[in-house]
Amino acid sequence: MVADIRAVVAAAPLFTPETTHGHKMSVRMTAAGDYGWISDRRGYRYAPRHPDGGVWPPIPASVLAVWKAVAGVDRAPQCCLVNWYDDHARMGLHQDRDEADLSLPVVSISLGDDALFRVGGIDRGGPTRSIWLRSGDVAVLGGAARLAHHGIDRLRPGSSTLLPKGGRINLTLRVVD
């Protein structure tokens, strides 16, 4: 799977998104599939093209196999967001709500260093729980948990030997429209 993701990154290079307020995010990202998720001063959205104008490469078969094994739905994902975390990258609490049908799950695959995953409720500001995600872990946000706020608080550098230079890759699969 790592080799497949390296091929995705070669075809659609990692970029650093920014928030609508112009702040650079600490993760770098790219995508595979019909759509990629992008963020800039114009907002958060799915786009059929990479910020450099190229089309997104197809979602690798190794990644699609995980979706088929755990998603529990007949529809195939249309986006595989690839988030690259170095030792200092974080992802604040957020909801995945840019998709047309929020009854369909979001499937997340962790590769590389352990990450402290924090998940809360549907309403912002409620209690949260944290668990360490390890390389190979798969999380499914579906059903009542589909709109749970979630994020990554920190990495445990050097906790995995999967990626020679360390870091974490998170793959997030979604049906978009």
CA distance 29 to 8: 11
Residue pLDDT, tens place only, 6-61: 999 999 999 999 988 899 999 999 999 999 999 888 888 999 999 999 999 999 99
N residues, the chain: 177
* pLDDT for residue 165: 92
Give percent above pLDDT 70 in the chain: 100
Tokens 């978009």 correspond to 176
Residue 110: which pLDDT band, with cuts at 50, 70 and 90? very high
Q: What SS3 state is found at 117? A: strand
CA distance 81 to 115: 17
Taken in order 70, 71, 74, 80, the sign of the CA dihedral is negative
CA distance 141 to 71: 9
Helix-then-strand count for the chain, H and E: 2, 11
* pLDDT for residue 40: 87
Q: What SS3 state is found at 65? A: helix
102 phi-psi bin (left φ>0, alpha ψ -120 to 50, beta other): alpha
* pLDDT for residue 54: 96
pLDDT of residue 125 exceeding 90: no
150 vs 1, 19, 20, 76, 131, CA distance in Å?
Answer: 24, 17, 19, 23, 11
pLDDT of residue 5 exceeding 90: yes
CA distance 127 to 136: 27
* pLDDT for residue 89: 95
Q: What is the DSSP letter of 60?
A: P
Domains in the chain with CATH codes = 2-174 (2.60.120.590)
* pLDDT for residue 41: 87
- First-residue to last-residue Cα distance in the chain: 26
Residue 128: which pLDDT band, with cuts at 50, 70 and 90? very high
Residue 144: which pLDDT band, with cuts at 50, 70 and 90? confident
Instruction: State the chain's mean pLDDT as an integer.
Output: 95
